[in-house]
Structure 1
């Protein structure tokens, strides 16, 4: 068993760290606080090919291994988690199209998605349906060569830039069980009736948009049905969420690592009672716990990613990684704030941003409690962790 990165992955991580140190960290605090969209950072990520991570080489993408995929989100989130979010939903959409799309869909969409000339997201959550995807109410009624789509979606990252937006709909709402009547449509956001109705105000996860979209009699060509066959939508998106949980776990890991880095540096430089606070056992215990948690989360995340690289299912492993890493992100950000004392509550220091960003990872891509039930069901059905 080898728990080290290979030479190529190590070089890739260094490139990412240099990029984050040079282009993201110097502006993250000010841009996040002002609500400024990180256009320049996104343009740089396009140049680096990061929007094509999960696009096959034949369509112009990087066809990256999943450990490198995780590295990307860890390192970018270490600088600014919100920016990492612009890559996350886009990458899930690319994987969906590459895995399940027809050849026409792949050849027409993936080359531009790989360069970032097109961007994407994924439309799953609705105002009354989050964890229970079978409870969505967005309908797509077939009329000749088109579907007429009505409904709404919430928390859509890249909503204004997504072209297309893979959207989970019910093509047959009468079917039981419900998942047999669910499909994914690749909806062009420029179509009449597709409206970004509002930006959702957020505690954290700023820098990228999170929007509500309304679909009002949107006329979508039948050729935009993912894979060309109805009734497979839930299966398709649940499979894609394995990659989504890897990227969220890695983002949580990045926030946890950034929290530890900030706490460590502050403890060495902050004096109390005539000596650095790192000399006090209470601070040392917090730092030790943070370091152990971060490394354990990293190993779980890379373990799950490596299973995907071997072509194996990783729904159990990705759920474990996402659950643990997101909880580590919460703990590490809070402990970093405690080590900073009053300064941790100040917007002049980065740790308050980590504290605001961390909760999203325990909610998005499956809440921690939902993932606990997913993990338990798989264990009880015979899955093994040995």
Structure 2
């Protein structure tokens, strides 16, 4: 992967399950020295390009769902029964390859099991979620800061009614609110990063970060697009692409509704 010989993807989400990982239906049935995999996954980033997939599948359907999931490494080159669907058409993030993948009696060596034994898949996935949610938070803040910088430059140059848009009090106050949120967010993010470096980032803090930063990103970016007026709706302007790309931030990595649940469970 470091050399670029392999492109990787992680395959968790299935049609109809979304954030409900224990309800996945993809199975990996033991058969001698192999697993026989059947099922499908959706919204897979790098899906059509990947030749190495970290797959979440049920290796035991007789136990509780959270105990029967395992992670299996699948090398897809010339693999019988493995199929990639057409790229999914998204409203944003057009440069990112996202698709469905299908497994029909795909045989993979048991040696490709990730970890020392079966049944640890859900734990393996969830123990990395705080890191993923912190990465999403960092992206959200950086995106919002970029939108604010672009918009500040735009309203200085754009004139209306004989003055720059920045000269209107509404514009200055809206941008002041955005800048205040970004400044506070930067302090919180730095604290979260330090916690992560020292191994002290917990599920609740990561959930708060993901929830607050992605909600704030959307509010800031939407405000910035509004200040661009009609040009903000044109894809030739960066703010329009930022706006469409930002919408998914509140969905992947665990929906923000799930973040509310995680936070509420600590009350």
TM-score for both structures, normalised by structure 1: 0.67
Matched, 1:167 2:167: no
CA contact (8 A) 1:297 1:321 kept: no
Identify the residue that residue 93 of structure 2 maps to in structure 1: 205
SS at structure 1 position matched to 2:127: helix
Secondary structure of 2:193's counterpart equals: helix
Pairwise CA distance, 1:173: 1.2
1:292-333 Cα distance to aligned partner (Å, 9 max, x none):
222333333332222121022432222111111111121111
Give 1:225 deviation, angstroms.
Answer: 0.5
Find the counterpart in structure 1 of residue 220 from structure 2. 332
Superposed CA offset, 1:319-362 (max 9, x none): 11111111112111111111011111112211111110111100
1:189 equivalenced with 2:189 (yes/no): no
Contact 1:193 1:216 in 2 (8 A): yes
My pick for the range that moved more, 221-230 or 311-320, is: 311-320
2:177 equivalent to 1:289? yes
Give the Cα–Cα distance (whole angstroms) in 2 for the partners of residues 298 and 216 of structure 1. 47
**Structure 2 gap ranges (5+):** none
CA contact (8 A) 1:165 1:187 kept: yes
Aligned to 1:224: 112
Distance 1:293 1:188, change over 3 A: same
Query: So what's the TM-score if we normalise by structure 2?
Result: 0.95
Partner of 2:163: 275
Q: Which residue of 2 aligns with 1:310?
A: 198
Q: Does the 8 Å contact 1:259/1:336 carry over to 2?
A: yes
Range that drifts further, 280-289 or 185-194: 185-194
Q: Is the 8 A contact 2:69 2:119 kept in 1?
A: yes
Equivalence map 1:1-386=2 (5 Å): 113-176=1-64, 178-190=65-77, 191-377=79-265, 379-380=266-267
Count matched residues.
Answer: 266
| Structure 1 spans left out of the alignment, 5+ residues | 1-112, 381-386
Contact 1:304 1:314 in 2 (8 A): no
Let me know the Cα RMSD of the aligned residues. 1.3
- How far apart, CA to CA, are the structure 1 residues paired with 2:223 and 2:5? 40
Q: Aligned partners of 2:156 and 2:185: how far apart in 1?
A: 25
Give the deviation of 1:368 after TM superposition: 0.8
Higher strand fraction (1 or 2)? 2
Runs ≥4 residues deviating over 6 A:
none
CA contact (8 A) 2:48 2:87 kept: no
